Every structure is written in C-alpha cells, then in structure tokens.
Amino acid sequence: MVKTLPKVDVVTVGVGWSGGIIAAECAKAGLKVVGLERGQKRGTSDYQQIHDEYRYAIRYDLMQDLSRETITFRNNRKMKALPMRQLGSFLLGEGLGGSGTHWNGQTFRFLPYDFQIKTMTEKKYGKNKLGAEYLIQDWGLTYEELEPYFDTFEKTTGISGDGKNKHGGKRSNPYPTPAMKTTPLLKKFEKASGKLGYSPYMMPSANLSEPYKNPDGEQINACQYCGFCERFGCEYGAKTSPEITVVPTATKTGNFEPRFHANVVEVVKKGNKVSGVKYLDTISGEEFIQPADVVVLTSYVMNNAKLLMVSNIGEMYDPTTGKGTLGRNYCYQILPGASGFFDEQYNTFMGAGALGMCFDDLNGDNFDHSDLKFIHGANVALTQTGTRPIGTNPILPDTPTWGAEFKKQSIENYTRSLGVGGQGASIPHKENYLSLDNVYKDSYGVPLLQMTYNFTDQDRALHKHISKKCGDILKEMGAKTVVVNSEIDQYNIVPYQSTHNTGGTVMSLTPEEGVVNNYLQHWDADNLFVVGAGNFSNNSGYNPTGTVGALAYRCAEGIIKYSKKGGSLV
C-alpha cells in the first residue's frame, strides 16, 4: 500500500551539495522543501574518530552500500555488462552531504573554453580536429553567464585561493579567504614548474586557510593540516561541506525538512509535468508518494540518469542511430602523471585535501594543439594531501609486490617519493554512454544503471603527452629516479582512479542536444530539474565540484523563477 503524503513546493532527491544548495535557496525564498536522502544524518560530531585509514579509506565506511544498489559495467557494446560488485575506480557517496562530505575540497571553475568547446575548437583547428565519433558540443551557457554563480558558490564555501591563475576566466571578486600555506614541497614544485615556463598558483581550496563566516551566517573553521580529507569527514568543520553550510542554512528557515533512509525509486510523470516522487523508507519498508510542485534530481550522476530512465522521462540515447540524449556524453577523467623518488625525506604524511600548487598552461586550449592528436588537457599539480601507510607503498618498477624487497622499498620510499599529476579532460565519444541494465536489479527491484565506457584515442594521446611533462617537472625538482605513468589502454573499473564521473543528463541550448536547458530544467517537463556533474557535456581538466556548485545556484534561481511564473525558463 503506497501512502500519499501532503504536497510540498519542492522535493529534492538527495541532500549533498546540489540538493543542499537548492534547499537553502528555495527555503530562503519561502518555498517548502523536503529533501529525500537515502542515507543517514551525519555531521561534524560524527567525525571525531575519523583518523582511521582502514575504516574510511580502505573499507569505505562513508560510501554507498553496494549490496543495495550498484551499476553494471562493460568496456564496449560487444561485452556482457556485469555488476560492479565492489567499489574501486570511483567512490559513490551516501548520506547527508553526499560526496561533499568525503571530498578533498579542490574547488576550480571550469575554463571559458569548456563551455564553448565546439565553437572554439572548430574556430582554431577546423571542423575535423577530432572525428565525428567525438560528440563535443557547447553547453548552452558561457563562462561569463555562469560567473555570478561561481562567485556565489565560492562565497558560500569560503574558498581559499591566491587568484594568480593567469589562464582562468575573469573573476568578479577575489577568493573569500587567502591561499593555504605554501609548504616546502609546494615551493619545490613552484620553483621547478616556473623554471620550465609554467605559471604555478595555489590550488583553490575548500579546506580553509582561516576561520570564515559565509553570507548565510555559517561558520567554517581553519584547516589543521591533519592529512585526513579525501574519503573522510572533517572533525574540525574546516573542510566546507553541505552539513556545515547549506543544510543548516536551509534548516534554520523552518521551510526545510530532510528525510533520511528515503530511497527514491521513481519520478511520477503525468502528461508533460511531474507530480512528485515515489520512495521507500528503507528502515520500515513503507512506500510513499511525495507530491511536489517541483521535483529536483540532486543525487549523483548515476542515479540522476537512472531515475529518468526508469521513470521513462526523455529519449534514451541510441549509439547506433545517434538519436536520443538521455545517457549520452558520459565522461570520466584521464590521469596522466609521474612519480619521483628522492634521497631526502619529506613530511608527506602532513597535508590537506586541497593543499597543492598547480598550473593551467597544459589545460584547455591554453597551449597549441595543431600538431597534437587530442584537444583539451589537464590541470597539472603537486598536492600534499597526506599519505597514509596502507594506501601508500611506492616501489620502483620491476620490484616484487610482496616479500622482503617490497617491504624495504615501500617503507623507505614512503616519505621519499612525490607525485606530479594531471586531471585530464574527458571528451565525449559516441560509444561511451549510460543506459539501463536488463538483467541486474537493485535490492528494491529497480534495474541497475549500465555503463558502457572505454578510453579513446583522444584519451590515450592526452595521457601520454601530459605524463611526459609531469616527468620533466620531477626531474627539474631533483628526483633521482623518475617513473612516468605507463600508457593507458583499456579502462578498468577495479583500481581507484577518480570520482569525477560526468554526463548522461547534459544541458544544452536546444532539446535535440541535451536533457535539460541552461536552467537545468528538463526539456520535456517544466517542473522537473536535474542538476549535477551529469549536466556537463564534456569533463574538464579539473575537479568538478566548483562547477556543480555554480550550476546548482543557477538551478535554484530557475526553480524560484518557475515557482512564480511557471512554464519554460528559456
């Protein structure tokens, strides 16, 4: 028996960064918001024993329970898709704050180039730079249009930065707080990369350099550089997270109710509108319909796409015909890099998730690609995020992976090895997409999302080019041995790579090109909004959260407008 609850103005599916931002903005504007969160309530007081590498970084205690739900994966259409039975390549979040709880806090704005990638690439290199199988398109919104929303997100989160990136888009304001500390390791990278002609700057950080009160009155504390950020929550309330900012902001209006253990299984569509969502209370087993004037999908890339698919909203992408938009442009991230082995010991165990020095000379179209077989590039960085002993066992190539020699090298190199790496842009390809699996189901009986993904020639060329440059920097830094990452071949879902999955529900200027318009409003249902990294039609050479935050503020503005006037916002 499904129970229908009283109608609310806005319901969000998930309460992480995007759900929290939508909730805060809409609740401040007087709308009644319910946030349905499948995980549990959590906050700073729950993170007082967080310095536990095994529990959180190895056993993934803050991450999604895959026994309930996962995805299936194959490299190409000829393979049979099989379930991702364990977490590996990327770490899906769960619970209040979502991935915003266990992120590192590296907070960039995508480049102006990203938003107009098709126009700018064709203008400079002609129409045939990449083959027709690469589905690059403009986003339907320029950097300049999105700038005010980037600014708002940075103010909410108090981002620490030096503003010295000469390749970044124009900023209306400086970063709210000064950059983090320039440690000896960061200085070493700064000197070497500067000598090689690059323009290093301090990585913009959501681990704050000083205490900060945001415009909503929320307090964020100063980072203590304890070295436990990524995969952990912050025991100091110094890594900006939804739990310490937008969630309390929404809550104190009296207009927001977060509801936990509420797993949404369907968006209810009626004609060209949606009427609410159906969810399951995973504790009691009861089913509910939560009617709402506006439904906002604010879960991760995977579930935003899946919910649209299982609810039959929009046209599924078909890689054979190229028709349909839902599931298209799934992108990931390419990780070029190199390791350097040094004689001296460094305090590598100290750090913070977004403590780093980086440059954009090899990102976007900031360098000439005329003679290269790829477009875009990577932000290249040395980060000092805090190395931990289970996860960090650096050995030279051809060393056995166990036994006496392994033990000796992995211990000796633990504080004597440094990495320089890039976050390589990922360009959409017609064979990389999301769909629904027709065999495997989640524990609620709903089909699993299916991912078809492999590295492309573009990825391989980008990876090789930038890995070599990373190696050159380590040589300049004085490494006695430099090991450049070996070339990539097939994408493998087992080793951890990056939780920067994007696409599948892309934004676009026309309904033919995407799932949502540039207010993240669904092209086929005016009162349905879908927001997150799924809206990116390509992934950039940066961490996605800064751009997700900006889009969420843009979306919130759209919802408030819609609640007054109705209809399509474009």
Partner 1 sequence: MSEEGKNLSRRDFLKTTGIATGTLVGGGIIGGLIGYNTNKKSKPSKNANNTTGHDEHTGVPARMFFMSQTDFQVLSNATERIFPKDNLGAGAIDLGVPYFIDRQLAGNYGSNSKEYMQGPFAEGAPTQGYQSRLTRAEIFTQGVMALENESKKRFKKGFSDITEKQMDEILTAFQKDEVKMSGTTSGFFFALLRSATLNGAYADPMYGGNRNMEGWKMKGFPGHQMAYIGEIEKDEFKKYEPKSL
For partner 1, the closer of residues 370 and 401 by Cβ is: 401
Shortest Cβ 232–partner 1 spacing (Å): 12
d(CA 207, CA 353): 7
Query: Is 367 among the residues that bind partner 1 (CB under 8 A)?
Result: no
Shortest Cβ 516–partner 1 spacing (Å): 30
Angstrom CA distances, 384 to 185, 347, 388, stand at 8, 9, 12
- Tell me, by CB under 8 A, how many residues bind partner 1: 62
Residue type, 570: V
The answer to whether residues 329 and 319 touch, using CB atoms and an 8 Å cutoff, is no
Shortest Cβ 97–partner 1 spacing (Å): 19
d(CA 561, CA 564): 5
What is the CB neighbour count within 10 angstroms for residue 1? Answer: 4
DSSP-assigned letter for residue 264: E
Query: Is 283 among the residues that bind partner 1 (CB under 8 A)?
Result: no
Angstrom CA distances, 338 to 201, 335, 471, 485, stand at 20, 10, 5, 5
Which residue in the set 227, 233, 327, 532 belongs to the binding site for partner 1 (CB under 8 A)? Answer: 227
Query: Is 455 among the residues that bind partner 1 (CB under 8 A)?
Result: no
Which residue in the set 113, 491, 553, 562 belongs to the binding site for partner 1 (CB under 8 A)? Answer: 491
Query: Is 570 among the residues that bind partner 1 (CB under 8 A)?
Result: no
Shortest Cβ 229–partner 1 spacing (Å): 13
d(CA 486, CA 345): 26
Residue type, 525: A
Active-site residue flag, 500: yes
Q: Is 309 helix (H, G, I), strand (E, B) or coil?
A: helix
Which residue in the set 45, 80, 270, 371 belongs to the binding site for partner 1 (CB under 8 A)? Answer: 80
Site for partner 1 in 337-366 (CB under 8 A): 344-347, 349-351
The answer to whether residues 366 and 168 touch, using CB atoms and an 8 Å cutoff, is no
Shortest Cβ 42–partner 1 spacing (Å): 16
Site for partner 1 in 384-403 (CB under 8 A): 388-390, 393, 401-403
For partner 1, the closer of residues 226 and 548 by Cβ is: 226
For partner 1, the closer of residues 354 and 556 by Cβ is: 354
Query: Is 494 among the residues that bind partner 1 (CB under 8 A)?
Result: yes
What is the CB neighbour count within 10 angstroms for residue 390? Answer: 9
Which residue in the set 8, 84, 378, 474 belongs to the binding site for partner 1 (CB under 8 A)? Answer: 84
d(CA 383, CA 453): 28
Shortest Cβ 493–partner 1 spacing (Å): 5
Which residue in the set 6, 184, 197, 397 belongs to the binding site for partner 1 (CB under 8 A)? Answer: 184
d(CA 443, CA 75): 25
The answer to whether residues 162 and 201 touch, using CB atoms and an 8 Å cutoff, is yes
For partner 1, the closer of residues 67 and 321 by Cβ is: 67
Please work out, in degrees rounded to the nearest 5, the angle formed at the alpha carbon of residue 114 by the alpha carbons of 305 and 423: 80
Half-sphere exposure of 494 (CA within 13 A, CB side): 2
The answer to whether residues 201 and 109 touch, using CB atoms and an 8 Å cutoff, is no
As a three-state string, the secondary structure of 519-530 is: CCEECCCCCEEE
As a three-state string, the secondary structure of 445-466 is: CCEEEEEECCCCHHHHHHHHHH
**Quick one: which segment of 5-13, 165-173, 218-226, 295-303 binds partner 1 (CB under 8 A)?**
218-226
Q: Which secondary structure element, helix H or strand E, spans residue 34, and what is its range?
A: strand 33-36
Which residue in the set 136, 493, 559, 560 belongs to the binding site for partner 1 (CB under 8 A)? Answer: 493
Shortest Cβ 158–partner 1 spacing (Å): 17
Among the listed residues 376, 429, 463, 500, the single catalytic one is 500
Binding mask 50-79 for partner 1 (x = CB under 8 A): -xxxx---xxx----xxx-xx--xxx---x
Shortest Cβ 494–partner 1 spacing (Å): 4
Q: What residues are labeled active site?
A: 500
- Interacting residues with partner 1 (CB under 8 A): 49, 51-54, 58-60, 65-67, 69-70, 73-75, 79-80, 82-86, 88, 181-184, 222-227, 344-347, 349-351, 388-390, 393, 401-404, 407-408, 411, 414-415, 439-441, 490-494
